[in-house]
Amino acid sequence: MKASNLVSLGDISTEDLWEILDTARNLKLEHLAGVRHDMLAGKTLAMVFQHPSLRTRVSFETGTWQLGGHAIYLGPSDIKLGQRETTEDIALNLSRYVDGIMARVFEHRTVAELAEHASIPVINGLCDTYHPCQGLADLLTVLEKKRTFEGLTLTFIGDGNNVAHSLINGCAKVGTAFRIACPEGFEPNGEIVAAARDLGASVEVFHDPREAATGADVLYTDVWVSMGQEATSKQNAFEGFTIDEALLSVADKDAIILHCLPAHYDEEITYAASRSPGSAIFDQAENRLHAQKAVMALLMG
């Protein structure tokens, strides 16, 4: 892997992306076969969190241990990133103590600043603009279920948020068409869309979820209101943008359903749709572990 950090999927090459996916598949198969790995033996990952997490913390901490390493949890009150001391100084200090930094932060500029000043690999565990680790897990899940990316259409129903941005980046590199259905005013970042189109990617923005879902091979959704956002006005804007049985009926008959979780049932997705035969939501959640292990093995190993 040529990249020294994972800040966004848009920053890494197609070759690096495929190396991560191939490594994740191999690590997963070997783990399920009982093979023990030691790529991170003697290595430590600092996990910096500005807000709570289930999947990010557990998957990174477990993944580090499964690779023979050790993870340190640094919660919101432990270092007060950018408040108690500068982000630059935190990056420089951690570089003297540990072998890698995973940061789950509010603003993209924070993780970008960590990567700028750290002399060790920095992994973006989530920020307001991107969620690359989730995007890798999503692509790994699609590849497992569909065996290819070519000729597929992934439709995202919901806000043009950090998850949507990482999916746009990832789909552009693997050759999968991307559609998003969102209310007016909630479209993904125009620069991110333009950059993907410059790579020759198909990125379409719809305001009718049924139109966007028609014939889709993958239907994906996320919570309408992300952590820290104002709930009521946004929920009202997204009425009708729910993955339910009616929406599933217009997608491809073998479509898979994805959700990065946590789910608010009967808002962005119905419980019945989340448990339908095409649902791969919990395979997708598991693949956070394997995708992130691949990133750590390649960057820190």
Residues marked as catalytic: 104, 131, 134, 222, 260, 288
Q: At what angle do helices 14-32 and 162-174 cross, to 10 degrees?
A: 100
Task: Label residue 20 left, alpha or beta by phi (over 0 means left) and psi (-120 to 50 means alpha).
Answer: alpha
Q: Give how far Cα 19 sits from Cα of 16, 135, 174, 246, 283, Å.
A: 5, 15, 12, 38, 20
| 160/129 Cα distance (integer angstroms) | 10
Cβ 179 vs Cβ 156: under 8 Å: yes
Alpha-carbon gap, residue 106 to 238, rounded angstroms: 23
How far is the C-alpha of 243 from the C-alpha of 77, rounded, in Å?
A: 37
Distance, in Å, from the CA atom of 46 to the CA atom of 97, rounded to the nearest integer, reads 9
The CA distance from 97 to 45, in Å, is 10
